[in-house]
Amino acid sequence: MVVLEDGKPVSIMHKYITGKNALTTASPIYNEEGKIIGVFNNTRNISDLARLRNELLATNNVILQYSSETQSLLQQQMQGEGFIFKSKIMMLILLFLP
């Protein structure tokens, strides 16, 4: 109905009762006079894409956690050698010193 009212394509994500995710896109169909004579509707199952997105987000969170832990451990190690710093740039400088 929104496509008929606005005359513009509409995309909506929805979830079926089965738990599957879908993306539906509806576009108006015009006749020669420019009047809407119908709507073309395309629905795609995006459950796998949603699962992959969630896995990617979880993986990125783990990477951020490991990166933070690595920086903390490196900073502790450098402090043990007499260096005290907080900036990431200083840490990178100290990493490349012989």
pLDDT in tens, 12-54: 998 889 888 999 999 999 999 999 999 999 999 998 888 899 9
Distance CA 48, CA 10 (A): 22
Distance CA 98, CA 92 (A): 12
pTM: predicted TM-score of the whole model, two decimal places? 0.52
Between the two ends of the chain, the Cα-to-Cα distance in Å is 69
User: In which region does residue 82 sit, left (phi positive, over 0), alpha (psi from -120 to 50) or beta (all else)?
Assistant: left
pLDDT tens string 69-85 = 888 887 777 665 666 77
Sequence-separated (6 or more) residues with CB below 8 Å from residue 30: 36, 37
In this prediction, residue 97 has a pLDDT band, given cuts at 50, 70 and 90, of low
DSSP 33: T
